[in-house]
Amino acid sequence: MSGSTKPPVGIKVFIIIAVVVVFIVGGRYLSSGPARVQTATLALLDAAGRGDLADITRQIEAGAKVDGIIPGAGNETEVSPPLLAAASAGKAEAVSMLLRHGAKADVRSGTKETALMLAARSGNAPTLRALIDAGGIGVDETDADGRTALMHAAASGWGEGVRMLVAAGAAVNAKDVVGRTPLSHAVSQANGIEAATVLIAAWCDVNLADAQGVTPLMHASDSGAIASVFALLNAGADASIVDQQGRLASDWAASREGTDADLIRTALAQAQ
């Protein structure tokens, strides 16, 4: 037909070659570019939280970034570091594997928590030991609230974790942003006696008050932690100290009910 023209053979060949190149380049991008790295890194995050060593190995071999940093075109995408997931879940072998593959021990969460802090409240001693031994971050580093790994362990009532961190040189009289010490965190929990006992044995200051003048004895009295109250009194806690509002430890215990509360008030009255 007079109204139609066929493209020259050379142009046809060029178009075919161009299409082939697009498929090849595109395929390589999808198979080895940012998309694949992101998929593998997200899968690694999941595997780390489950402690699946075989899957961790597969994802690292597939190009996953062990620190959760995915390079892109002129920028980077960050996912939660897999090491934090493993530490939080108490997966010691996963933690060790990630560290061996180059994961940085000093990575932090959005609230500035380190893997050591997450392990400190996991209740899993091998996980905490792996991170203590790995080094790479100070044992007294703080999160966004000024809490150290020792405070996290103490607040969880985990005596063994507290003992491990104290042995590693953690400061027993450190204070968070509101002035609370590891001991105050421990005795604020009903199950904090084991952690409190370890801290007292490490010669922490049993009368060190927070920013509001609240002492560990007041925190223990408020929480109704009778074992901690008696441990503090036996360690020399001063029941006559008042906080910034003029309240004694006995005043902090005043609103509680039950036999334990009565015993606490009696012990505090005798100690004043």
Say if CB 167 and CB 202 are below 8 A apart: no
Strand partners of residue 76: 71
Asked whether this chain's domains 33-111 and 139-271 adopt the same fold, the reply is yes
**Domain locations in the chain as residue ranges:** 33-111, 139-271
pLDDT at position 17 is: 46
Q: Is 85 helix (H, G, I), strand (E, B) or coil?
A: helix
| Separation between Cα atoms, residue 42 and residue 78, nearest integer Å | 10
pLDDT at position 25 is: 45
Tokens of 220: 């223990």
Map tokens 């985990």 to a residue: 158
Question: pLDDT, tens digit, for every residue of 56-78?
Answer: 999 999 999 999 877 654 455 56
Say if CB 268 and CB 232 are below 8 A apart: no
Q: 139-271: which CATH topology?
A: 1.25.40
pLDDT at position 11 is: 45
pLDDT at position 228 is: 98
| Separation between Cα atoms, residue 270 and residue 272, nearest integer Å | 6
| Separation between Cα atoms, residue 1 and residue 10, nearest integer Å | 22
Model confidence, pTM = 0.85
pLDDT at position 6 is: 58
pLDDT at position 5 is: 55
| Separation between Cα atoms, residue 225 and residue 140, nearest integer Å | 27
Instruction: State which amino acid sits at residue 186.
Output: A
pLDDT at position 256 is: 86
DSSP class of residue 63 equals T
Consecutive sets of 10 residues in the chain, 272 residues long: mean pLDDT of each? 53 44 46 78 96 98 90 60 97 98 94 97 97 94 98 98 99 99 98 98 99 98 97 98 98 90 94 92
pLDDT at position 10 is: 52
pLDDT at position 80 is: 85
Pick the CATH number of 33-111 from 1.10.10.10, 2.20.28.10, 2.60.40.10, 1.25.40.20: 1.25.40.20
